[in-house]
Amino acid sequence: MKELLSKLSAWRPFRVVVVGDFMLDETVLGDAERLTGDAPVPVLHVRETTRTPGGAANVCMNLAALGAEVTAVGVVGDDAEGRAVRSALESQGVRCEGLIVDGSRPTTVKRSLVGRAQHRHPQKMFRVDIECTDALGGEARSRLLQAFERSLVGAEIVAVEDYDKGVLRGGVCVSVIDRCRSAGIEVIVDPARLSDYSRYRGATSITPNRSEAETATGLPTHESADMESNAALARSIQDSHGIHAVVLTLDRHGALLLERGCAPLAVATVAREVYDVTGAGDMVLAALAAGRANGLDWASAVRLANVAAGLEVEVFGVQPIPLDRIRREVARCVTGAHPKFFTRDELASEVARRRAAGQRIVFTNGCFDVLHSGHVMLIEEARRLGDFLIVAINTDAKVREFKGPSRPVNNEHDRAVVLSGLQSVDAVTIFEEDTPAELIERLRPDVLVKGAEYSAESIPGASRVESWGGRVVRVPMKAGMSSSRTIRQMGIDAAKVELTAEMRDRFARDRAREAGRSS
């Protein structure tokens, strides 16, 4: 992982061609709280409909997020859905001149009906597919291959995403691989669930998941990821189809890499809270292609793909995972840092990503030295006010200045770990300044939360939050609860320093608000 982290620090833009089945993923979200009167069937009261690029289009989006210059080569119908796919791709800088229109077939649409009961976590109820899986007609096939030929100029790698929706049938996939081999360009294939992999013969690499590999070979994968058993399955694919590297993805067991001439390598995954496995295969393909284009060896590229896919399953639906988030996760694996702890730059990037997804950002801050029920009440109330709660804590040095030489009782690392363990907290960061005003200015939260014992004038950053239309919320504190009281009851000599006017001016004052009044 250290070598991978070093490679990620020297990451460069690259050019990739994505070929395959382009789709539109449509999510119809609503409330599912009753059954119909005439049958035991849930009723979905629709609240929202979202559309995102799927299949090969999702691979393009993932690659764009990884810093690639992407060219899309595929087929869409002459319909609103096809135009939506093209528009979404172009909005992320994907070149779509190779995305041809075939009026004889519809754009493939996967429409998921997702219901919530009692405002709980959404659950997929049903899926409706609109598609044509026939092989392309002669004219469409000719136009597609011509577009692919043009796209190869300057390309560093080709990614093939096959959902067996027809585009790669009829010799198209064979032609794509042959042309890549002639041009000396690596081609990585995410295969469909097929019993015959002959269309992938000669590919540089192939990335079947457990069930796809079993279907293709007739062999079982080992339930406990036995290396010898799974390597035999991967070797069967490799030898039968002239493939250099087989990357067998094994869900919770990570992945197995079998590179020609090398011993099999098991790449373990990190235990994660899985919300939705949709798009994990697309992310593996995108990350492998990105890694190889950036000069990673196969082992490092598989580790990168494993990390990226792990982050993908933690989100609901398909969402591109940006490079800086992957880099941060790799760094966390190397250093052992808690996943909720962010540096300032990392946090700014994460906030930007979540804001782009329509999430409401909430910010609160304090010493949070000896955590008590009053702190927990404030944090839980803050989390209810938005989607992503940031808790910023003072450095040990600043706590000593403000609270006295015997404070903090717990150092900043331990305080960050304890806060990170709270379910309501999404991110923890440490600020070195006297107040978090500078951090608030950079993050621009939608809601700023402090205890009600603070007046509006003594909440740093409050006026700035209000200036961009945000809210400042003062939460009543639990009576009789404070860190100082708890520390005294523990018998620790931690007399609080006398708070001078100068110190109050430094640590508890909204200078921006006062500057506005004076002007």
> pLDDT tens for residues 62-80?
999 999 999 999 999 999 9
Please determine, for residue 334, whether its predicted confidence score (pLDDT) is greater than 70. no
How confident is the model at residue 215, as a pLDDT? Answer: 95
What is the overall mean pLDDT for the chain?
A: 87
Please determine, for residue 25, whether its predicted confidence score (pLDDT) is greater than 80. yes
Question: E strand or H helix at 431, and its extent?
Answer: strand 427-431
Rg of the chain (C-alpha set): 27
Q: What does the alpha-carbon distance between residue 246 and residue 256 come to, in Å, rounded to a whole number? A: 8
- Dig out the tokens for 391 from the structure: 């808790």
How confident is the model at residue 357, as a pLDDT? Answer: 79
Is the link from the previous residue into 208 a cis peptide, with omega within 30 of 0? no
How confident is the model at residue 481, as a pLDDT? Answer: 57
- Dig out the tokens for 340 from the structure: 């909720």
Give me the mean pLDDT over the 228-235 stretch: 91
> Which residues have CB under 8 Å from 206's CB, separation 6+?
188, 189, 190, 191, 197, 200, 237, 241, 243, 245, 246, 247
Q: What does the alpha-carbon distance between residue 292 and residue 16 come to, in Å, rounded to a whole number? A: 11
Cβ(471)–Cβ(384) under 8 Å?
no
How confident is the model at residue 512, as a pLDDT? Answer: 56
Architecture of domain 2-34+45-335: 3-Layer(aba) Sandwich (3.40)
How confident is the model at residue 354, as a pLDDT? Answer: 87
Reported as a single tens digit per residue, the pLDDT across 40-60 is 999 999 999 999 999 999 999
The catalytic residues are 282
Cβ(291)–Cβ(304) under 8 Å?
yes
Cβ(21)–Cβ(168) under 8 Å?
yes
Torsion angle of the four alpha carbons 76, 79, 84, 86, in this order, in degrees rounded to the nearest 10: 40
How confident is the model at residue 254, as a pLDDT? Answer: 84
Torsion angle of the four alpha carbons 499, 500, 505, 508, in this order, in degrees rounded to the nearest 10: 10
Among 191, 218, 180, 188, smallest CA distance to 205 is for 188
Percent of the chain with pLDDT over 70: 87
Amino acid at residue number 273: E
Q: What does the alpha-carbon distance between residue 353 and residue 355 come to, in Å, rounded to a whole number? A: 6
Among 393, 382, 378, 376, smallest CA distance to 340 is for 393
Residue 232 has a CB neighbour count (10 Å cut-off) of 15
Please determine, for residue 518, whether its predicted confidence score (pLDDT) is greater than 50. no
Cβ(5)–Cβ(327) under 8 Å?
yes
Cβ(284)–Cβ(207) under 8 Å?
yes
Please tell me the CATH code under which domain 344-518 is placed.
Answer: 3.40.50.620
How confident is the model at residue 330, as a pLDDT? Answer: 81
How confident is the model at residue 140, as a pLDDT? Answer: 96
First to last CA, the chain: 54
Reported as a single tens digit per residue, the pLDDT across 110-147 is 999 999 887 677 788 999 999 999 999 999 999 999 99
Which of 25-29, 255-259, 399-403 bottoms out in mean pLDDT, i.e. has the lowest?
Answer: 399-403
Where are the domains positioned within the chain? 2-34+45-335, 344-518
Give me the mean pLDDT over the 10-20 stretch: 95
Backbone phi and psi for residue 170, each to the nearest 5 degrees, phi listed first: 65, 30
> Which residues have CB under 8 Å from 401's CB, separation 6+?
503
How confident is the model at residue 519, as a pLDDT? Answer: 38
How confident is the model at residue 505, as a pLDDT? Answer: 60
Reported as a single tens digit per residue, the pLDDT across 349-379 is 889 888 987 899 999 999 998 888 889 999 9
Amino acid at residue number 193: R
How confident is the model at residue 276, as a pLDDT? Answer: 46
> How many residues are there in the chain?
519
- Which pLDDT band holds residue 234 (cuts at 50, 70, 90)? very high
Q: What does the alpha-carbon distance between residue 72 and residue 99 come to, in Å, rounded to a whole number? A: 6
How confident is the model at residue 188, as a pLDDT? Answer: 98
Among 406, 374, 380, 375, smallest CA distance to 393 is for 375
Q: What does the alpha-carbon distance between residue 385 and residue 88 come to, in Å, rounded to a whole number? A: 31
Percent of the chain with pLDDT over 90: 63
Give me the mean pLDDT over the 27-41 stretch: 91
Reported as a single tens digit per residue, the pLDDT across 257-314 is 999 999 999 988 764 444 445 668 899 999 999 999 999 999 999 999 988 887 876 6
Backbone phi and psi for residue 465, each to the nearest 5 degrees, phi listed first: -60, -45
